């Protein structure tokens, strides 16, 4: 391995945990919302319940224990230390796959799919998985200057894969990981075997055919943009301001993330039917422990509206659109952008924005189906 890497293990200081419990106990709560539902945000009773469980019921060593069974390292890319989780395969012909998370996610999203991906029943489906943490997120470094746009992150990922000795690889992800994976195919097309995403983006195509399912997806997308995009406007314009509260108050950080998990997962009103509270808190801990509330929010400021994310792509492309996804575009729009669209599935039975967490078995199956077409 030619790259200069520093081995990494998650180490949680007991003083951090004592401080966390003290902050949770000292939370100054607002009054309840004036409605009974989630239309004003996380209900007070549920917020208090989650925070009480975080302080006294949750095993705060879980994130470290879950991550430290895997190889991890830090590598300097374009001036920023990037945390990487590396899951090798026992099969010698496994395809390298760079798997990228988004906001408000983390590499925690992928822990349940690593085993099935690296050691599947059919060795021909095997992947060697590389999960880098986005700059400013989790245990990656926090950029000290502006400029970390999606294209810059993708270029850093190409540098990462080259440094690890991978000349050809696949790319996959959701949320910002979708954008980075697509951009990786644009900046390193000769090295990218194929791209699979759960959140494809393309410009509208006037007069293009739209199925009834796709029309329902467009209606849901417009509802999301009209009533669900406030977080993006805030983080895209004032990430520093919102960051003071997120870094200082664990209740603020937890509810800021839990709100999105409730709104973006596939359930009938019970968030924990989609993602249980332990896995939710594992993810939140990767924001709280490194104080990443402001630095992770900046990815919105760096990219919106500067980055359109709709430029043509020639690399083999596949998408799996889960029914609870927040933005769903018609296949005809995607075909106008992705010149080699090999796979499209918008008829999945369940799952939402965090598919690898919600329905890991379906997510793994979708990756296998697409990459069989391009291996």
Residue pLDDT, tens place only, 96-105:
999 999 999 9
285 in a structural domain:
yes
Looking at the structure of the chain, the number of domains it has is 1
Pairing of strands 80-87, 127-132: antiparallel
Question: pLDDT value at position 3?
Answer: 67
Q: Is 295's pLDDT higher than 50?
A: yes
CA distance 245 to 252: 6
pLDDT per position as a tens digit, 227-282:
999 999 999 999 999 999 999 999 999 999 999 999 999 999 999 999 999 999 99
Contact call for residues 282 and 112 (beta carbons, < 8 A)? no
| Cα 120 versus chain centre, distance | 23
315 in a structural domain:
yes
CB atoms within 10 A of CB 159: 17
Q: For tokens 């489906």, name the residue.
A: 125
Question: What is the span of the domain harbouring residue 236?
Answer: 13-24+41-371
| CATH assignment at residue 306 | 3.40.50.1820
Q: Is 288's pLDDT higher than 60?
A: yes
pLDDT per position as a tens digit, 19-39:
999 999 999 999 999 999 999
Question: pLDDT value at position 1?
Answer: 44
31 in a structural domain:
no
* Mean pLDDT value across residues 180-207: 97
Question: pLDDT value at position 13?
Answer: 94
7 in a structural domain:
no
30 in a structural domain:
no
Residue 238: partners with Cβ closer than 8 Å, 6 or more residues away: none
4 in a structural domain:
no
* Mean pLDDT value across residues 37-50: 98
Q: Is 156's pLDDT higher than 90?
A: yes
3 in a structural domain:
no
pLDDT band at 306; cut points 50, 70, 90: confident
Q: What percent of the chain has pLDDT over 70?
A: 99
Q: What is the pTM of this model?
A: 0.97
Question: pLDDT value at position 208?
Answer: 96
Q: Is 358's pLDDT higher than 90?
A: yes
Q: What percent of the chain has pLDDT over 90?
A: 98
Q: Is 4's pLDDT higher than 90?
A: no
319 in a structural domain:
yes
pLDDT band at 203; cut points 50, 70, 90: very high
Whole-number average pLDDT of the chain = 97
Hey, what are 128's tokens?
A: 């060697």
């Amino acid at each position: 391995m030619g790259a200069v890497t520093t081995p990494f293990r998650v180490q949680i200081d007991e003083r951090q945990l004592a401080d966390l419990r003290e902050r949770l106990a000292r939370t100054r709560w607002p009054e309840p919302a004036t409605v009974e539902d989630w239309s004003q945000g996380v209900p007070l009773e549920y917020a208090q319940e989650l925070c009480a469980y975080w302080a006294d019921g949750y095993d705060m060593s879980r994130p470290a224990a879950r991550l430290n069974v895997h190889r991890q390292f830090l590598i300097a890319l374009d001036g920023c230390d990037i945390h990487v989780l590396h899951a090798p395969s026992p099969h010698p012909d496994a395809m390298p796959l760079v798997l990228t998370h988004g906001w408000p996610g983390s590499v925690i999203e992928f822990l349940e799919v690593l085993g099935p991906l690296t050691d599947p029943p059919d060795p021909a489906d095997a992947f060697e998985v590389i999960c880098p943490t986005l700059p400013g997120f989790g245990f990656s470094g926090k950029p000290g200057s502006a400029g970390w746009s999606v294209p810059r992150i993708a270029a850093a990922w190409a540098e990462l894969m080259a440094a690890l000795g991978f000349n050809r690889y696949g790319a996959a992800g959701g949320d910002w990981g979708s954008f980075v994976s697509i951009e990786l195919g644009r900046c390193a097309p000769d090295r990218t075997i194929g791209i699979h995403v759960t959140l494809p983006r393309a410009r509208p195509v006037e007069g293009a055919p739209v199925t009834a399912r796709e029309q329902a997806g467009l209606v849901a997308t417009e509802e999301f943009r009209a009533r669900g995009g406030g977080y993006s406007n805030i983080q895209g314009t004032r990430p520093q301001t919102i960051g003071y509260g997120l870094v200082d108050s664990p209740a603020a950080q937890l509810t800021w993330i839990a709100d999105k998990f409730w709104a973006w997962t596939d359930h009938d009103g019970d968030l924990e039917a989609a993602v249980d509270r332990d896995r939710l808190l594992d993810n939140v801990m990767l924001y709280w422990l490194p104080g990443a509330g402001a630095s992770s929010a900046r990815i919105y400021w760096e990219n919106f509206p500067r980055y359109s994310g709709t430029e043509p792509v020639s690399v083999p492309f596949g998408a799996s659109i889960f029914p609870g996804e927040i933005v769903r575009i018609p296949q005809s729009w995607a075909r106008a952008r992705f010149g080699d669209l090999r796979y499209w599935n918008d008829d999945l039975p369940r799952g939402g924005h965090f598919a690898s967490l919600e329905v890991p078995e379906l997510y793994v199956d979708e990756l296998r189906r697409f990459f069989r077409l391009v291996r």
